[in-house]
Amino acid sequence: MLNDVDVQYKNDILETIIDSAYEWIVVVNTEGNIVYINKNYCQFLEIEQEEALGKHVSKVIENSRMHIVAKSGKEEIADLQYIKGNYMIANRIPIFSDGKLIGALGTVIFRDTKEWNKMNSHIKSLMPKLQTYLQDWEDNNGAKYTLQDIKSISPHILQLKEKVKNVASGNISVLIRGESGTGKELFAHSIHHLSPRSHHPFIKVNCGAIPEHLLESELFGYEEGAFTGAKKGGKKGKFLLAHGGTIFLDEIGDMPVNMQVKLLRVLQEKEVEPVGAVKPIPVDVRVIAATNRPLEKMIEEKRFREDLFYRINVIPFKIPPLRERPEDIPHLTDFFLEKISRRAGKRITMIDEEVRNVFNQHSWPGNLRELENVIEAAVHLTDGERITISSLPESLKGDPKILIGQLSLKEILEETEKRIIERTLEQFHQDKLEAAKALGISKSSMYDKIKKYRLETEELQA
Ligand SMILES: Nc1ncnc2c1ncn2[C@@H]1O[C@H](COP(=O)(O)OP(=O)(O)OP(=O)(O)O)[C@@H](O)[C@H]1O
């Protein structure tokens, strides 16, 4: 039996070892509160050890998942974590006592920035590779989005989310329609995720992106020797890969008519015939299809099979474009800003009212994907904590339509004139004479306008 002095002695030794350990170490309880964090980690985080203790780990460590591991009991080894503008590698291990989960131990395998930088550049060069593998894995092995990932306050979208809950459990085909970038893929993932098939694969096929002559073998596979260039051992098609799970046929409106006939046969017979095979193979797959094409019109023009349409359109989902749910624009702007700036390791928390007005007026032909991309670009162009109009892409800034309703005609004309003068000067590297010539105005008129719109740059003033 150890006496109190021995215990204290042992604790002191352990604490010294851990405090000066190579790794950064943190321990949380099941609530996610920090019960231990070593000095090296605190130094890196620029926080006093005493201050960190007892705090929820998410308040102290950026992007931490320690509280999740302390709840789930599932270890996460060598996970990439983004802290203070860099990736690092973290291990998170659940701690059990008497078989009961009592918390989690997290370690980060870097100690000083020099070493970290060396490793970081190595990792950065590996990242694109890793991302490709991850993408492939996710594409082939499961739904990466759930209903929680579909952010919206639009009653229409909220209704669709309810509909997902109602239809997910069945085996019936779903047809999701909506413009590009409205979230069709997100809905497809969510349906699979909530279905009893969620432990089986979710396989996506972009019917529009695969050349016509390859589509059949891509979907149904082929036997060895089926054609010249066929791989040894043949190839499993996407339908067989999705066996037990869900196949997501994206851009189904782009599928050639002869393939539509073959697809219909598979859906009816529930068996596939790989190219060159002598007999069909039974397959159990749920189909979710998506398109932004006008299928009814295509049926009239004989470009889409009516029988296939009825086979896949058992449960229709129509996702409205962003311009028809304006209430979602500010909501999603905040969501994307938070997500993207966290990922970029920046703390951008504010958006100018002027920017919000531009967003509200824009028609968002690319829907949520366009909004996400605009915010991504703005986050990367912003140095401070606030997104201003100058961080927006030209295509958004330059549209005078966005000013309608906010300014009078005179003001809109002046604003447009100002922007044109500004851009012409930029184009001619601030050469007033050339800019005036290009716009067909006199040099003195150009001077007046530069003065009126306060466009003098240091170069111009010189
Ligand atoms: N409601 C939403 N909440 C959060 N992000 C969303 C939402 N809808 C779409 N997104 C994001 O917008 C982007 C486009 O979504 P998605 O790929 O699902 O659209 P899509 O309709 O399938 O587009 P396409 O027809 O071009 O394939 C994705 O990055 C997705 O994460």
3-state secondary structure string across the chain: CCCHHHHHHHHHHHHHHHHCCCCEEEEEECCCEEEEECHHHHHHHCCCHHHHCCCEHHHHCCCCCHHHHHHHCCCEEEEEEEECCEEEEEEEEEEEECCEEEEEEEEECCCCHHHHHHHHHHHHHHHHHHHHHHHHHHHHHCCCCCHHHCCCCCHHHHHHHHHHHHHCCCCCCEEEECCCCCCHHHHHHHHHHHCCCCCCCEEEEECCCCCHHHHHHHHHEECCCCCCCCCCCCEECHHHHCCCCEEEEECHHHCCHHHHHHHHHHHHHCEECCECCCCCEECCCEEEEEECCCHHHHHHCCCCCHHHHHHHCCEEEECCCHHHCCCHHHHHHHHHHHHHHHHCCCCCCEECHHHHHHHHHCCCCCHHHHHHHHHHHHHHHCCCCEECHHHCCHHHHCCHHHHECCECHHHHHHHHHHHHHHHHHHHCCCCHHHHHHHHCCCHHHHHHHHHHCCCCCHHHHC
Residue among 369, 372, 374 to mutate when testing ligand 1 (max atoms within 8 A of CB): 369
Given the DSSP bridges, would you call strands 86-97 and 100-108 parallel, antiparallel or unpaired? Answer: antiparallel
Distance 109 CA to ligand 1 centre (A): 35
Question: Is the residue at 139 inside a domain?
Answer: no
206 found inside a domain: yes
- How would you write the pLDDT of the chain (462 residues) with one tens digit per residue? 556 667 777 777 877 777 777 678 999 999 999 999 998 889 888 999 999 999 999 999 988 999 999 999 998 887 777 787 777 778 899 998 888 999 999 998 765 445 556 666 776 677 677 667 666 666 666 667 889 999 999 999 999 999 999 999 888 999 999 999 999 999 999 999 999 998 899 999 999 888 888 889 999 999 887 777 777 778 889 999 999 999 999 999 999 999 999 999 999 999 999 988 888 999 999 999 999 999 999 999 999 999 999 999 998 999 999 999 999 999 999 999 999 988 887 888 889 998 998 898 888 889 999 999 999 999 988 888 889 888 887 777 766 666 666 677 887 788 788 878 887 887 787 889 999 999 999 999 999 999 888 887 654 443
**Structural domain includes residue 459:** no
Residue written as token pair 């997500």: 339
Q: Where does residue 361 rank: exposed (0-12), middle (13-18), buried (19+ CB within 10 A)?
A: middle
> Ligand 1 mean position to 216 CA, how many Å?
27
CATH number at residue 40: 3.30.450.20
Q: How far is the CA of 318 from the centre of ligand 1 (A)?
A: 14
Tell which atom from ligand 1 comes closest to the C-alpha of 183: 18
Does a structural domain hold residue 201?
yes
Tell me the CA–centroid distance for residue 291 and ligand 1, in Å. 13
Query: Is the beta carbon of 369 within 6 A of some atom in ligand 1?
Result: yes
Distance 251 CA to ligand 1 centre (A): 14
- 151 Cβ below 6 A of ligand 1: yes
Q: Domain ends where: 355, 375, 396? A: 396
Q: Is the dihedral of CA 420, 424, 429, 434 positive or negative?
A: negative
Provide the domain count of the chain: 4
Any atom of ligand 1 within 6 Å of the Cβ of 180 = yes
Q: Is the CB of 150 under 6 A from ligand 1?
A: yes
Task: Report d(CA 177, CA 136) in Å as an integer.
Answer: 25
Give the nearest ligand 1 atom to 368 CA: 12
Q: Whose CA is nearest to atom 29 of ligand 1?
A: 369
Is the minimum distance from the CB of 178 to ligand 1 under 6 angstroms?
A: yes
Q: For residues 377 and 336, is the Cβ–Cβ distance under 8 A?
A: no
Q: How many Cβ atoms from other residues are within 10 Å of residue 1's Cβ?
A: 3
Domain boundary among 295, 315, 335: 315
- Cα of 200 to ligand 1 centre, how many Å? 23
Identify whether 263 is part of a domain: yes
The distance between the two most distant Cα atoms of the chain, rounded to a whole number of Å, is 98
Q: Which atom of ligand 1 is nearest to the CA of 371?
A: 12
Of 315, 339, 364, the one marking the end of a domain is 315
pLDDT of residue 163: 95
Residue 144: inside a domain: no
CATH code at 345?
1.10.8.60
CA-to-CA dists, residue 316 to 165, 167, 205, angstroms: 14, 11, 19
Would you say the ipTM is above 0.90? yes
Contact 182, 320 (CB under 8 A): yes
Ligand 1 atom at shortest distance from the alpha carbon of 151: 3
Q: Which atom of ligand 1 is nearest to the CA of 152?
A: 1
| pLDDT the model gives residue 185 | 95
Domain match, 191 and 95 both: no
Measure 333 CA to ligand 1 centroid, in angstroms: 14
In the reported structure, the alpha carbon of residue 182 is separated from the centroid of ligand 1 by a whole-number distance in angstroms of: 5
Do both 165 and 231 map to the same domain?
Answer: yes
185 in contact with ligand 1, CB cutoff 6 A? yes
CATH number of the domain where residue 435 is located: 1.10.10
Residue 181 alpha carbon to ligand 1 centre in Å:
5
Distance CA 92, CA 32 (A): 12
- Taking a C-beta distance cutoff of 8 angstroms, is the pair 163, 336 a contact? no
pTM score over 0.80: no
Instruction: List CB contacts of 271: < 8 A, sequence separation 6 or more.
Output: 280, 281, 282, 283
Do residues 301 and 334 both lie within one domain? no
pLDDT of residue 112: 47
Same domain, 379 and 423: no
The residue nearest atom 10 of ligand 1, judged by CA position, is 183
Tell me how far the alpha carbon of residue 120 lies from the centroid of ligand 1, in angstroms: 31
Boundaries of domain holding 236: 155-176+186-315
What's the token pair of residue 382?
A: 């912003």
Q: Which of 368, 371, 376 gets mutated to test ligand 1 (max ligand atoms within 8 A of its CB)?
A: 368
Q: Is the CB of 321 under 6 A from ligand 1?
A: no
Q: Give the residue whose CA is nearest to atom 28 of ligand 1.
A: 369
Cβ–Cβ < 8 Å for 60, 53: no
